Structure 1
Amino acid sequence: MASLRVLIPAAALLAACTQTGVSAQSDGARPFKAEVVADLDSPWAMTFLPDGRMLVTEKQGQMLLLSADGKSRAVVSGTLPVDSAGQGALMDVVLHPKFAENKLVYFSFSETGQGGKGVALARGVLQDGAAPALGNVQVIFRATPYLEGNGHYSGRIAFAPDGHLFFTNGERQKFDPAQDPKATLGKVLRLNDDGTPAANNPLAAKGFHPAIWSYGHRNLLGLAFDSAGNLWEQEMGPKGGDEVNLIRPGLNYGWPKASNGDHYDGRDIPDHRAGDGFEPPKVWWNPAISPGGLMIYSGKLFPQWKGDAFIGGLSSKALLRVDLDGTNAKKGDQWDMDARIREVEEGPDGAIWLLEDGGDSQGRLLKLTPAG
């Protein structure tokens, strides 16, 4: 489909969701203009190459290489077969910190395997040119165990400042695996860049799977480091209780034993409370926002937001900002975007880029720059 370039009418919506002691805010008007750069087929994630071009994944299993202006695109061959039923997809895509030297691209995807389905982590070498491809593609990590079902794969990837790779595994809508020390499901994992468990992970000596960094998570769809090296994560709660967490080594974040939401059938789940042994979220939402991607802003186009977190809202059809202050967080703005927002990324020039999750369009790629 040909690229589109139009401006979305400015509008804003005060967030209806509330949190004890913290309320959502609105500027009353969007402080940005949104340009539609391209229309894609159910895109899931994106990342920028050093020259400003973009790698974008699509749910059904395609990876695309887009020009910096979005006007041209090419399919990147070499990805692996994807089971895209339900929440399955070709998921995250991230460059190795030394991409300029090694050309390594990391991606996650859902697949069918022994025991059912699960999320896998792979990498390949980007071969550029008129027919781009990933060469020497290898699966370097698979979640354990694989289970029946099509939900809560998670699959987000983030490189730490020290070069370690962090990878999220959802609990596959099975609840208990999030507390199972032998399963990687419902966990944040810390790996070497070749997919092997990193040395000195905090729970290995206690009999946990050696890759586990933190546990007690549900569906982890955002993962990012701030400039101080703090690791932030956002995840979908059940009926309410969506969370932003500061991830600390070895801690238990409570799912399914504690949540500020309820089961979908109305059954209560104990709220996070002092002394319960679980790490509480820094920010939470009731009703749900259904958080998509997570980005921590470091650019110059929006200096007032430097160091803040941005979250895509799926069911809330919103872009949300969270004020980060060291290891503390509180709600900032929530802007109505009139579409499900799957991914948020920062461009090389400091623009904020969004991927819509389909709907009226196949799934638009938007570029946000300051209004006026």
Structure 2
Amino acid sequence: MKFIKISFLTLLIGLSLQNCNKKTDEKEEEAAATEQSAGREIWTKEQAKEWYAKQGWLVGADFLPSTAINQLEMFQEASFDTATINRELGWAEGIGMNTMRVYLHDLLYQQDSVGFFKRLDVFLDITEKHKIKPVFVLFDSCWDPFPKLGTQRAPKPGVHNSGWVQSPGHDALKDSTQYPRLERYVKGTIAAFANDDRVLAWDIWNEPDNGNDSSYGKIELKNKTDYVLPLMTEAFAWARSENPSQPLTVGVWAGDWTSHETLKPIEKVSIDQSDVISFHNYDSAQEFEKRIKQLQQYDRPMICTEYMSRGNGSFFEGSLPIAKKYNVGAINWGLVDGKSQTIYPWDSWRKTYTKEPDLWFHDIFRKDGTPYKKEETDLIRKLTASK
């Protein structure tokens, strides 16, 4: 009887241990599933630096083919102009550029996600052919707050970015019932390219608190930043939930960056949630360098995702050597003069221009591929050749 009791006790202990092990395995699987659904963490400084060291010095432009007035016209099936994209990116490659910042749009995903991704894949094949890795921008607070699918309007003569549209637009931004749609757009787009080596980075939201006072201010959403801030914060989380191998960022573009305490709430989120720091600067070389030094406090790689506005005192010869000195990526606004008409200055919304300005505001090439200023393309080619 003693032998039987001991054996029975051993059996009970064994069953109990098996049950404990099973529960432990289930908990580990549950924890792993939870971690996967939550996505990856914000990169550490070391992870960000390791990624950046593999890229080389990043130089490029905010790219829109000359035949498109905005991001919808660039990527809708009827107007997706691969011939022009290929030709113009060839000019960029010819001066040593290795990245482009390219805007997407939530309505493109809503219209036809499968077709949209196919066209993005074709676009990435073209960029890869030219040794260029794009930064994709998901949302944008600049210019027209009422985007519409379909044929886009013609440019207003002499007006800077007369047809550029926001994403999401006014109506979607104020309507929380559309947020699940926007979540699907962010998650779906990043998931499709999360491990694609052809993609450099994801810019979650361009100039999120821009109120467009000099253009569309009168019809803008009131208290716009109150809507953008929580949605942008969510968008960061949505993006990370897909475990992208590429960094996430939102650029700071206006304000006091002296310390973290002087930042506006939306700038704090932009900095705190970004894997790499990005910023805009359309001012003098001295101001450009000052901004870089201010952002060095975060000890992360930096990319200037917009600069170079000649009429505002921002030139390649001023800013680009400084960017190289500090190993800061440099992406200027505009590659080829086209339907966006960004050779005209910002004040073209209030002042009439009847001919091409003597001093181009943005852009590098004319439509035939000749440079606006050969000394600029020579400088870019020289600096990128020695990177």
- TM-score where L is the length of structure 2: 0.29
Higher relative contact order (CA 8 A, sep 6+): 2
Could you say which structure has the larger radius of gyration? Answer: 2
Normalized per residue, which structure has more helix? 2
Q: Which one has a larger percent strand, Structure 1 or Structure 2?
A: 1
